[in-house]
Structure 1
Amino acid sequence: MRTCQNCRTAVTRPPGRMRTMLISPTTSGRPPACSVTGYSHLLRKHFHTVNLSISLILIAWFINMLRSPVERAGIFACNKHDLQPDLWREVLSRHSEPLLRKISMDKTEVLPKLREDFRMQNKSVFILGASGETGRVLLKEILEQSLFSKVTLIGRRKLTFHEEAYKNVSQEVVDFEKLDDYVSAFQGHDVGFCCLGTTRNKAGAEGFVRVDRDYVLKSAELAKAGGCKHFNLLSSVGADKSSNFLCLQIKGEVEARVEELKFDRYSVFRPAVLLCDRQEFRPGEWLLIKFFGSLPKSWASGYSVSVETVVRAMLNNAVRPSSEKMELLDNTAIHNLGKADSSL
């Protein structure tokens, strides 16, 4: 036992390499002069302040992690026309390959010109799943932009349209359980969009696998054999064939097996929670939509995306020339590409 010569604090110093000091503060109120005792005094005096500081740092870190990597780097503070290529390269070099799709339309690639050049090629397109939320919006946008000379819907039933704009839309009714009998429906298309999908709650586990995997894979095979050059697949964020979750596992497996078909161009879109007004009620999805709708856009955009934005990203990507065989567009890339032109 000894006493600090300056603050008169009783200090016990047990032997050993780690000398832990047990302090009994006096009532003198004078600040200690010895460094070791001083640290103990400060910690005891400012204990609550230190706790508060640590809490604020953790909160700030959590909020920052809610943002996307590019947003955390400060990119969204810049105007899309003022982005510096060197800055983009620095940011993108620190993240995965899908982030390459985050770059907005290049200054030399003006969308109206790209669309006009695309129209001049008189390409044909087919849509799988046009009765769904994404497929329905995709069809409407394709017709409004007049991008294709021929539009064909492939589905299990014929859809009814009353608007004049849909009068030239062709429809092929097929039995997805016997697609080999409908080879002709997949022939002669340059571009294909696959928006097929269901849910496990609606179709059961077996039904989900049959629709999201078997129907999609067989349709892709027939499309490839029929001459389709560019196949677009609507997948999901987190798709991974090694996932423990059935939905993500099937989505990941489909992505990989369609890639093996070796299309001239293969584009995969992985949106997060789709924001839309569904005709069918899905309680879980409804709660998520309400939750993300209440968040600031800068936060919600990292975990959700509107169907309209997904569709615009699909079409903006389709009209852009690309030498890549396989393109993987994540949720942030979809946001950037879907908002590349405010006139959409």
Structure 2
Amino acid sequence: FFATMDRAGDAVGSALVLGATGQTGSALVRELLAGSTPIATKVVAYGNSRLPTYNGPNQHLFSGLQAPMEDLAGSRVNELMGFDSIFIHVGTQRRKAGLEGQIRLEYDNTLAIAKAVKGFGCRNCHIVTSTGANANSSIMYLKTKGRIEESLKSLNFDRLCIYRPAALYGGDRTSGFFHRSVLPCLSTLGLVQRIQVDHVARAIRLIAGDQSGFRKKDGKVEIYSNTELHQICRAT
């Protein structure tokens, strides 16, 4: 079910990155701008509560901005104009934001921003969710991730890539209860395989830029499991 694809319409082009101050988001920024010919023509990275920074190659292509997602979905929505691709990795801890705050950030604001960029002509959407994401799950975290996946599908981007890593380590999501406690237990039991944050970011770069030879070949929606993310990193 993998195939090499080379279609100019699928180039990353100008990239908007949400959640760029977390370890996964910052790793993705590094990947998008890596090398002598980066896959992004520019990267505008937003942090929800603090300013994203980047000091690597092709720094002239990077802009970091701080904005609450509520503002991007509302009063600052015009800042979302002019992007070819959006990369979404947002999340918060329920103990900090509360259940309503978590859902508002990870579902309501995320969907509003995705709708806005689609309306402004953005063609490609990439989102990091989680192993087990399911809109019908009894676990609220997985239910929210599943709901945003389903809602993004309905927006009909030219290309929607959904990445479902399992127990991340070396990054910010290890601080959340589900990734700190539940997935590591499943990993210990051999039910899921842990994956490094940097490996997830690398796989996204390879898939987004059609550089891996592992792009799924049919349809506008591509879903990459934790196992497939591992396969892509091992094969390149």
TM-score range, shorter chain: 0.7 to 0.9
CA gap of 1:256–1:143, structure 2 versus 1, over 3 A, is same
1:284-333 per-position Cα deviation (integer Å, ceiling 9, x unaligned) = 745678778878xxx58x43211122112211111227552111111111
Aligned partner letter, 1:336: Q
For residue 173 of structure 1, report the CA deviation from its aligned partner: 3.5
State the shift of 1:204 in Å: 1.5
Please give the alpha-carbon distance, in whole angstroms, between the structure 1 residues aligned to 2:16 and 2:193.
29
Matched, 1:149 2:60: no
User: SS at 1:144's partner residue?
Assistant: coil
Query: 1:158: Cα distance to partner?
Result: 2.3
SS of match in other structure, 2:223 = strand
Distance change >3 Å, CA 335–CA 261, structure 1 → 2: same
Q: Secondary structure at the match of 2:40?
A: coil
Structure 2 counterpart of 1:261, one-letter code? L
Partner residue in 2 for 1:241: 135
Question: Is 1:325 matched with 2:217?
Answer: no
Residue 68 of structure 2 corresponds to 175
Q: 1:308 is aligned with what amino acid? A: D
Equivalences for 1:27-66 in 2 at 5 Å?
none
Q: Between Structure 1 and Structure 2, which shows a larger proportion of helix residues? A: 1
CA distance in structure 2 between the aligned counterparts of 1:269 and 1:122, rounded to whole angstroms: 16
Q: State which structure, 1 or 2, has the greater radius of gyration over its C-alpha atoms.
A: 1
Q: Tell me, in whole angstroms, the C-alpha distance in 2 between the residues paired with 1:134 and 1:128.
A: 11
Q: Does 1:273 align with 2:163?
A: no
SS at match of 2:16: strand
Q: Could you say what secondary structure the match of 1:181 adopts? A: coil
Residue 38 of structure 1: aligned partner: none
Partner Cα separation in structure 2 for residue 168 and residue 138 of structure 1: 14
Give the structure 1 partner of residue 51 of structure 2: 158
> Closer, same or farther in 2 for the Cα pair 1:282/1:241, shift >3 Å?
closer
Q: Give, in whole Å, the separation in 2 of the partners of 1:293 and 1:266.
A: 28
The C-alpha deviation readout for 1:123-153, integer Å capped at 9, x for no partner, is: 1111000001210111111111311111111
Residue 221 (structure 1) aligned to one of 99, 102, 115: 115
**Contact 2:16-2:43 within 8 A present in 1 as well:** yes
CA contact (8 A) 2:167 2:174 kept: no
Q: Cα offset for 1:226?
A: 1.6
1:305 aligns with 2:195: yes
Q: Does 1:336 align with 2:228?
A: no
Which ranges of structure 2 fall in alignment gaps of 5 or more residues? none
Conserved 8 A contact 2:107-2:148 = yes
Deviations 1:6-32 (A, max 9, x none): xxxxxxxxxxxxxxxxxxxxxxxxxxx
**Is structure 2 residue 12 aligned with structure 1 residue 125?**
no
What amino acid sits opposite 1:313 in the alignment?
Answer: A
**Separation in structure 1 between the aligned mates of residue 31 and residue 158 of structure 2, nearest angstrom:** 24
Q: Is the 8 A contact 2:27 2:201 kept in 1?
A: yes
Work out which of the residue numbers 204, 207, 230 in structure 2 matches 1:314.
204
Counterpart residue identity of residue 101, structure 2: G
Q: Name whichever structure is richer in strand by fraction.
A: 2
What CA distance in whole angstroms lies between the structure 1 residues aligned with 2:68 and 2:172? 25
RMSD: 3.0
Q: Counterpart of 1:264? A: 158
Q: Distance in 2 between matches of 1:305 and 1:122?
A: 24
Distance 1:174 1:209 in 2: 18
* Counterpart contact for 2:161–2:222, Cα < 8 Å: yes
Does the residue aligned with 2:33 lie in a helix, a strand or coil? helix
CA separation in 2, counterparts of 1:279 and 1:259? Answer: 24
Inter-CA distance 280–165: structure 2 relative to 1 (3 Å threshold): farther
Counterpart of 1:150 in structure 2: which amino acid?
K
Task: After TM superposition, list the pairs within 5 Å mapping 1:48-127 onto structure 2.
Answer: 100=1, 103=2, 109=4, 123-127=13-17
Answer whether contact 1:235 1:269 (CA < 8 A) is retained: yes
* C-alpha displacement of 1:122: 7.8
In the alignment, the residues of structure 2 paired with residue 279 and residue 323 of structure 1 have an alpha-carbon distance, to the nearest angstrom, of: 31
Higher mean C-alpha deviation, range 152-161 or range 265-274: 152-161
Instruction: Tell me how far 1:334 sits from its aligned partner.
Output: 1.3
* Aligned residues of 1:176 and 1:215 also touching (Cα < 8 A): yes
Stretches of structure 1 that go unaligned for 5 or more consecutive residues are: 1-99
Task: State the number of aligned residues.
Answer: 225
Q: Which amino acid counterpart does residue 201 of structure 2 have in structure 1?
A: V
